[in-house]
Structure 1
Amino acid sequence: MAVLLYYPLVNPPTEVVHQALLYWDGIASVVPTDPEVCDAAVGQPLKELEQRQLYTPVTHTQNIVGGLYPPNSSMRIARARPYVSAVLAEELESLAASAEPPRPSWPPDAFLHPTKANGWLERQLLQLGLAETWASRPLGTGRRLAVAREVQELVVGVLAREIAQLATERRLFPYTDRVEAQRLALRPAADGQALAWEIELGKLLPAPAAETTLAEVLAFREKYTDERLRLMRALHRLLGDLRRDYEHPADIFAQLRVKLDEALTDYRSAARDSRIVWVHRSVTVTMGLAAAAAGSLLLPSLDWLLGVVGGVTLNVATREIRPVVQRRLEHDFSYLHRVHTSLP
């Protein structure tokens, strides 16, 4: 299963939910570990989707948060995930030392929920002045940390990529509608860079207009299951093959162009037959390449034409990103959905 993992908030925008239902096997989001707090935080639309097995609440697992220890701690050697701690420590210290550190506003506009698995991250945020303890009265007896939005986006974005890599029952793909959240999640560390490709997919993935109801999207999903799955599988195969065989992108595209073009034609026909009004938003995928790509002829900031499918030109941009700690050979994708950016 391929599931969209939304971050940094619990409840994604309606358009992101629609996108997940049309082009993925469902949606997930990172939620507080406390069941009472989680129940209050998750909105009713997501609860309804959970009953249909289309929404999955995901917590910061012990393997992720339990591995967060001070970078200088001897526990770094004993635990499997020291790099996550090092990345967060470096980024948070940099924010705190900046000319205008991102302090919590009043009233707070962003929160982080402490986890029982480990207290280092909470102490780090409080000591650096990047967080304040906030009584979560509306959400029960749990505590929250009031933080600036930038801090929230950094912490949850970094953890979301690691959670996606550790998922075993389903494939999770980090997905956000915030430019800054993705930038912070992918920003290369001083001692860690990986090569990645970026491709704009918005023209291939039409989205229902904002006024479309959840019921209408679910009805379309069910009625046009075959068309939807053909497009989803063709596109995901193209991206997966491009990531694995990054030295021969033209050959990969040539092999799959006809299948993708046919799937796109059928899906567009289904969209026209429906009563839904469709729009095109910017959806960018960033896919981390294998470590060997760093020694190839690929260069950061290099752009080129991949090809044309369904009348849509696909361009590829090369950039550097922060590598994940536990990297899967077949899986390192992140998505940015600009819900307010229409494509011509």
Structure 2
Amino acid sequence: MQSYQALYYPFIHFKDEQWLKLAALYWDKIARIVPHDYPTADSDTVKALSPCIGTVRPDWVPPDFAQAFVDFLSQHGGRLRERYGLHLREQWPELGETERAPRAGGPSGNDRRLGYIFYEKIDNDVRRALDASGLASTDQRGERWVGMHPRLAWVYMTALAEQLAAHQGLCPLTDETRDHLALSSLSPERLAQALLDDVELVGTEPTPLEIESTLVSVAFKAVVPANLAELEPKKIMAFREKYPQERIAFQKAAADLLKGGEWLKSIDNPAVLEQRLRDEYDKHWNTRLQDLREQLRDCGIDAVLGCFNLKAVLPAGVAGAMAGLALHPVAAGAAGLAVGVMTTLRDKRKQAMGALRASPVSYLYRMEQDLAPKDLWGRVKHGTQRFALGI
């Protein structure tokens, strides 16, 4: 069974807070690689989500990781220098705003053409080998940031994250749209393929984790439309704590939906992949979500919530007594009416809870009810639902 604890990379701070909110709704835990000597400068959003955010130290990586990189540099240092040597930096373009590290924590280096890695994330032997090959150097700001070609930095951080994740039982996860490389073998040949092959790796087939993350994003955005930026982190945390079993069921539903989806891996365009997953969502989950709404309407939820017409869900005798109560409260038997009403609503609640427990998309329904934006009438209906049926 797949672990639903993730390891974020390549940065220390989360780059996209809306991405983090979606991730927090799905993943049980999201760790990040934070060096011992680095003080984080988290936003209020990240602080509010801190109960589901963990820390992994870069020195937890096995020793053979550094040795594999040193061997790789020893074998391919000359060819790497021809492509990634710092003597060529004048020819490299500046990184765009979306390619740079998050602003939190301050700047990581002076040269906008370089990618920077905090010194604790690079073993001393690896740093010496990089420096000797002319592939990296510390920044003018001091010894804390090591600058190199952005692609070399990306491949190194991907490899580090995969090795740490493998030894911590985590899934490597990124909010970057750059190429997602499978480097788990960490062989010099695989690293050489990533950095020296003539085949451009951008746009290669997506990993299963990337496909799953895109599917989840499509599903969540469908039920919480245009509300993610305003969605309060504390509300996300309360939602997680309230519906852990529904989240587990939805995680399984996502894995089941993608079983046999090998054809998805052949899609090399992210926009096309998202559209195909949107089609899958509409065919499978959106249909089930509509069915769940119908089942809950059959339990009388809409009658109770939409027009406050209890007669639509109460037996004829009790409904008649309600009319009598309006004219002759005592004669109608108020106590008996109350028992009849409560018994009926209790039965309806059982039916509704049964439908929710049986549905693999109950988590989406809960999200739609709890997290989607509501007008005043929607809030009244939602509050009445909680009171009348207790769900």
Query: TM-score band, normalised by the shorter chain?
Result: 0.5 to 0.7
Any gaps of 5 or more consecutive residues in structure 2?
95-108, 194-204, 263-283, 289-357, 374-391
Q: 266, 279, 285: which one pairs with 2:362?
A: 266
Tell me, yes or no, if the aligned pair for 2:81 and 2:133 is still in contact at 8 Å: yes
Higher relative contact order (CA 8 A, sep 6+): 1
Identify the range of structure 1 (87-96 vs 120-129) with the bigger mean alpha-carbon deviation: 87-96
Q: Determine whether 1:17 maps to 2:20.
A: yes
Task: Say which structure is richer in strand.
Answer: 1
Q: Determine whether 1:127 maps to 2:121.
A: no
Q: Determine whether 1:218 maps to 2:314.
A: no
Q: 2, 7, 29: which one pairs with 2:4?
A: 2
> Larger C-alpha radius of gyration, 1 or 2?
2
Change (3 A) 1:166 1:95: same
Deviation at 1:155, TM superposition (A): 0.9
Deviation at 1:122, TM superposition (A): 0.8
Change (3 A) 1:162 1:47: same
Which position in structure 2 is the counterpart of 1:38?
Answer: 38
Which position in structure 2 is the counterpart of 1:27?
Answer: 30
| In structure 2, distance between residues paired with 1:179 and 1:219 | 30
Query: Secondary structure at the residue paired with 1:163?
Result: helix
Query: Secondary structure at the residue paired with 1:18?
Result: helix
Identify the range of structure 1 (176-185 vs 91-100) with the bigger mean alpha-carbon deviation: 91-100
1:206-252 deviations in whole A, cap 9, x for unaligned? 47623323223223323333322210233346668989xxxxxxxxx
Deviation at 1:43, TM superposition (A): 5.3
| In structure 1, distance between residues paired with 2:239 and 2:25 | 8
| In structure 2, distance between residues paired with 1:116 and 1:154 | 13
Q: 1:180-329 alignment to 2 at 5 Å?
A: 180=178, 182-183=180-181, 191=189, 198=208, 199=211, 201=215, 202-206=217-221, 209-236=228-255, 263-276=359-372
Tell me, yes or no, if the aligned pair for 1:11 and 1:46 is still in contact at 8 Å: no
| In structure 2, distance between residues paired with 1:38 and 1:93 | 33
Deviation at 1:172, TM superposition (A): 0.8
1:31-81 deviations in whole A, cap 9, x for unaligned? 22xx3x32245556445544x2x2112122354356413xxxxxxxxxxxx
Equivalent residue letter for 2:146: L
Task: Say which structure is richer in helix.
Answer: 2
Name the Cα RMSD after superposition: 4.4
Q: How many residues align?
A: 240
Equivalent residue letter for 1:7: Y
Tell me, yes or no, if the aligned pair for 2:60 and 2:164 is still in contact at 8 Å: no
| In structure 2, distance between residues paired with 1:95 and 1:184 | 20
Which position in structure 1 is the counterpart of 2:159?
Answer: 158
| In structure 2, distance between residues paired with 1:203 and 1:90 | 43
Equivalent residue letter for 1:150: R
Equivalent residue letter for 1:175: L
| In structure 2, distance between residues paired with 1:156 and 1:116 | 8
Q: TM-score, normalised by structure 1?
A: 0.55
Change (3 A) 1:166 1:238: farther
Deviation at 1:271, TM superposition (A): 2.4
Tell me, yes or no, if the aligned pair for 1:5 and 1:29 is still in contact at 8 Å: yes
Which position in structure 2 is the counterpart of 1:143?
Answer: 144
Tell me, yes or no, if the aligned pair for 1:114 and 1:143 is still in contact at 8 Å: yes
1:170-195 deviations in whole A, cap 9, x for unaligned? x31111122335248589978459x9
Any gaps of 5 or more consecutive residues in structure 1?
70-81, 244-256, 278-344
| In structure 2, distance between residues paired with 1:155 and 1:59 | 16
